[in-house]
Amino acid sequence: MARTVLDRSDVVRALAGVFRKRGFEAGSLSVIQQQTGVGRGSLYHFFPNGKTDMAAAVLQQVSDWFEDRIFTPLRLARNAGEAIEAMSREVAEYFTSRERVCLFAAMTLGEEQDTFADEVRSYFTDWVDALAAALRTGGLPPLEAADRAVDAVAAIQGGLILARAYGDDATFLGIVARTEQRLLAPTQ
Amino acid sequence: MARTVLDRSDVVRALAGVFRKRGFEAGSLSVIQQQTGVGRGSLYHFFPNGKTDMAAAVLQQVSDWFEDRIFTPLRLARNAGEAIEAMSREVAEYFTSRERVCLFAAMTLGEEQDTFADEVRSYFTDWVDALAAALRTGGLPPLEAADRAVDAVAAIQGGLILARAYGDDATFLGIVARTEQRLLAPTQ
DNA sequence: TCAAGTCTGTACCGAACAGTACAGACGGTT
DNA sequence: AACCGTCTGTACTGTTCGGTACAGACTTGA
């Protein structure tokens, strides 16, 4: 019977796609099965605890990506300006190529809220803290850096909502660009 | 059998609460029934087309509230500064007393995305346009006004995400306050 | 060649789902 | 007091859900 053999990370990637399009609740096993070609058997082989495991794996993968491509570079930045420009570039490309959906933001709604509350909080605090660190490296006083970092992450997340509402990337890209400008602006 | 008699707007209010807490998909009829005390019979009496009607009614009520309390005042403002301060105040109070959830933003996720795409787009464009109008009244050039309006709405919506992620209102209130400052700042 | 372990398709389970049918209860009108 | 339209509780439908069981197919190593 067994035909196509996949490894776990392929399945996680496919799951992420389904969850972005349909949401965690509505991403039913039948939909996953027909959308990804991965059967029930394989799914429960890779994720013995079912949908909770699947959600956890997807979030972990997203978290790893951001840690690697966004947070760590920001923390280790020697040139704050370049690091922030890089963040804008990476974030814009990441979300425009992924249905304009941040799965961690989606996790702040509905019932699943409680299940992954810690992971969600960590994702956002890590982002804000890493960005604030880069801003301090760039010479901003700590409180100003913290405020700007929070505002920037909020602007990006809100930009994703507007992008989905408008069905267009331009608004989101404009928001990201202006957010970058505000981050790089000198203290007044 | 009939015991408690409710009118439609009571039911809509109760529905909004359930949808904010659980989401549209997960807000099942059984949950609605036991959470609101409204039985299946009444529900399908008020909303013959089931959950779609319920969602539409809830969104309409939210839309009416914003039109009345936020959009119209912004459009008719003679003193832009006061209108924007009023918006901040109203928005902060509205969302902090409603689970920090914007139902229109929630509608940009999952399957329901398509069903109410027009209503969602209108909500956000109305908000952005009304705010931009107030900013023009305050003396900002049209393009600058438009950019600031988009950025402000995005910041507020992103602020709600952070508020839910952190489980605290302070971050959201800080974002709203700084957003107001940026809206009121003179052109540079 | 063959045994062990890994992976996959399918049939199945009870539970929960949205929606329907309908009888009975209530409030207003006459 | 009788009536009618509005409202409500309950029993029921077919469907879909997440999850389980398990046999068969494939890979691997000896």
What is the complex's ipTM, to 2 decimals? Answer: 0.95
Which nucleotides in chain C lie closer than 7 A to a protein CB?
7-11, 16-27
pLDDT one-digit tens code per residue, A51-79:
999 999 999 999 999 999 999 999 999 99
Residues of B in contact with A55 (CB under 8 A): none
Give me the mean pLDDT over the B14-23 stretch: 96
Token pair, residue A108, equals 């702040």
pLDDT of residue B130: 98
Q: Is the CB of A14 under 7 A from strand C?
A: no
pLDDT of residue A4: 62
Alpha-carbon distance of B186 to B181, in angstroms, equals 10
Give me the mean pLDDT over the A9-15 stretch: 92
Token pair, residue B3, equals 């015991």
Nearest to A105 among B25, B150, B161 (CB): B161
pLDDT one-digit tens code per residue, B109-165:
998 889 999 999 999 999 999 999 999 999 999 999 999 999 999 999 999 999 999
Give me the mean pLDDT over the A115-130 stretch: 98
Q: Is the CB of B39 under 7 A from strand C?
A: no
Alpha-carbon distance of A40 to A61, in angstroms, equals 21
What distance lies between CA A97 and its chain's CA centroid? Answer: 12
Nearest to B26 among A25, A106, A167 (CB): A25
pLDDT one-digit tens code per residue, B72-117:
999 999 999 999 999 999 999 999 999 999 999 999 999 888 999 9
pLDDT of residue A2: 40
Alpha carbon separation from B157 to A28, A105, A120, B10, B79 (Å, rounded):
28, 11, 17, 27, 25
Q: Is the CB of A46 under 7 A from strand C?
A: yes
pLDDT of residue A111: 85
Token pair, residue A23, equals 């949401």
Instruction: State which residue of chain B sits closest to A31, comparing Cα positions.
Output: B111
Residue A5: is its pLDDT beyond 70? no
Q: How buried is B111 (Cβ within 10 angstroms: 0-12 exposed, 13-18 middle, 19+ buried)?
A: middle
The larger pLDDT score, comparing residue A112 to residue B15, is at B15
What distance lies between CA A120 and its chain's CA centroid? Answer: 10
Contact B121 A166 (CB under 8 A): yes
pLDDT of residue B2: 40
Contacts of A174 (CB under 8 A, 6+ apart): B147, B150
Q: Is the CB of B7 under 7 A from strand C?
A: no
Q: Are B157 and B120 in contact (CB under 8 A)?
A: no
Residue B3: is its pLDDT beyond 90? no
Q: Which residue blocks in B23-141 are alpha helix, DSSP H?
A: 29-36, 40-46, 51-66, 72-76, 80-96, 103-106, 117-137
Alpha-carbon distance of B54 to A67, in angstroms, equals 41
| Residue from A179, A18, A11, A172 nearest A95 by CA | A172
pTM of the full predicted structure? 0.96
Q: How many residues does chain B have?
A: 188
